[in-house]
Amino acid sequence: MDNLMATVEYVGDLRTKATHLKSGQTITTDAPTDNQGKGEAFSPTDLVSAALSSCMMTIMGQVAMREAVDLRGLKTEVVKIMASSPRKIAEIKITFSHSSLQATEVQKQKLKNAALTCPVALSLSENLKQTIVFNF
């Protein structure tokens, strides 16, 4: 398979183990407690929500490097809202915060634009509401 990047194994009890082939790093997922699981790890929908935040930060980091802005200390809070029929992610709320970001208003706008146009954000369904707040 071209571009094979991971393998995923079902290990039982609604749990999977994904292995990133290049690094060997693994991620365990677990079904949430409200969907017959143990809730002892990220659920697959949790990972989608966290991946959106991580992708936004990564693309912001690329802009920050070009703009000589130090993003260290940038954090997000991620909220996932599920719909029940059909069961799917209805909304992802991400709040960015940085207590002492040293950037001009133009640079801040570039960072915001980068976040909102990251590959994950653009790949998710237009029916999935993305509520993004920037506190910096």
Yes or no: say if 133 and 95 are a contact pair by the CB < 8 Å rule.
yes
Q: pTM score > 0.85 for this model? A: yes
pLDDT 10s digits, 87-121: 999 999 999 999 999 999 999 999 999 999 999 99
Q: What is the pLDDT of residue 6?
A: 97
Within the chain, all domains assigned CATH 3.30.300.20 are found at 44-135
Q: What is the pLDDT of residue 2?
A: 83
Q: What is the pLDDT of residue 8?
A: 98
Closest CA to 18 of 65, 70, 99, 26: 26
Q: Concatenated DSSP letters for 60-87? A: HHHHHHHHT---TT-EEEEEEEEEETTE
Architecture of the domain whose range is 44-135: 2-Layer Sandwich (3.30)
Q: What is the pLDDT of residue 51?
A: 98
Name residues of the chain where pLDDT drops below 50: none
